[in-house]
Amino acid sequence: MSWPGVYPRYRDYLPPISDEHIVTLQEGGTPLVRAHNLERRFNLPCALYLKCEGANPTGSFKDRGMTVAISQAKQSGAQAVICASTGNTAASAAAYAARAGIKAFVIVPEGQIALGKLAGSMIYGAHIIQIQGNFDKALEIVRQIAEKYPVTLVNSLNPHRIEGQKTAAFEICDALGQAPDYHALPVGNAGNITAYWKGYGEYFAQKKIAKRPVMLGFQAEGAAPIVLGHPLEHPKTVATAIKIGNPASWQGALRACDESGGLITTVSDAEILEAYRLLAQHEGIFCEPASAAAVAGVLKLAQHNYFNRTSTIVCTLTGHGLKDPENALSAASTPTHIVRAELHAVVRAMGL
């Protein structure tokens, strides 16, 4: 039987929604891949797994939460949904709204959305409004709109988003037969770290796992309000997905970190891009720069002997690399050759 999607699979852990209102693209069921080559290359004493969320239908983890939020919106008779986004939430909301026959308004920072994300939102038929401001400003505006007008907010402030996203933690425990020792992920608006911690907590309460993991959150150095302890007016990072100065789920992130005995710390853009290249060139996994922040962080902690020999670490790779072709082209170290269309010219270019 094919994978049914996160709602049918984990219905018992999710808010009640009747079958006729479920809007699914059979999201979830994503690969959990062991990173043997990175383990060897960095002499890691532990097992490193990558949860490849770019394999979701619109190319990011957002689909897990969106299936629940849009299904709920449909059940409650909503005609329109709205979100602010750095791109992935927008594409996901647009796709699920299209499938539900609901209008989607997506509010994004002008000129700061990776091409694949904008293209997705456009082809799914969302009503796209680019603001001359950043994500935090867009979120402030959509919150006010959702309060005043008949449009349902589908940012992670909507609790159904968190409910859906927590299923990634369930899948990891189901695959490993237990919780990992550490779970690392990038932190932007902080909904995902909040969701994972909730998911692990629920499996723990149900005695499906004997312990919960230590949660490790990574922000980009130029966009690290949680690490700095104050909001930022002008966050900066190459990882546009997590270019956020005032995360909505700030408290959720702190709770995950404190209750698990974990940490939230920074990685530089250079470290992010290095991990981005390493994942592609040594594991064959093309994620977007924000996703690589988790791996960059784990490699940095490993250098300081943070992990035990027996540890199992899972990094969530939150989005697919094809979302952001511009960064891939500029970060790739491999030159392309243009030669005459002749055998000898090609052989010479091959270095043979």
Q: Angle 206-212-218 (CA atoms, 0-180°, nearest 5)?
A: 135
By CB under 6 A, the count of residues binding ligand F0G is 22
Segment interacting with ligand F0G (CB under 6 A) among 16-24, 180-188, 275-283, 344-352: 180-188
Nearer Cβ to ligand F0G (14/226)? 226
- Convert residues 284-303 into a mask of x (bound to ligand F0G by CB under 6 A) and - (unbound): ----x-xx------------
Residues 6 or more apart in contact with residue 155 via CB below 8 angstroms? 83, 84, 85, 89, 139, 142, 161, 189, 191, 248
Residues 6 or more apart in contact with residue 61 via CB below 8 angstroms? 53, 88, 165, 168, 192, 316, 318, 319
Which listed residue (14, 118, 190, 298) binds ligand F0G by CB under 6 A? Answer: 190
Two tokens at 140? 């402030």
Phi, psi of 351 (to 5 degrees): 80, 20
Which listed residue (5, 180, 188, 297) binds ligand F0G by CB under 6 A? Answer: 188
Which listed residue (180, 186, 235, 252) binds ligand F0G by CB under 6 A? Answer: 186
Nearer Cβ to ligand F0G (46/152)? 152
Question: Is residue 319 a contact residue for ligand F0G (CB under 6 A)?
Answer: yes
- Convert residues 90-129 into a mask of x (bound to ligand F0G by CB under 6 A) and - (unbound): ----------------------------------------
- Convert residues 235-264 into a mask of x (bound to ligand F0G by CB under 6 A) and - (unbound): ------xx----------------------
d(CA 34, CA 49): 4
d(CA 287, CA 267): 17
Two tokens at 230? 């104050």
Which listed residue (58, 60, 72, 266) binds ligand F0G by CB under 6 A? Answer: 60
Residues 6 or more apart in contact with residue 223 via CB below 8 angstroms? 188, 232, 235, 236, 237, 239, 242, 243, 244, 245
Contact residues toward ligand F0G (CB under 6 A) are: 60, 62, 85-89, 156, 186-192, 241-242, 288, 290-291, 318-319
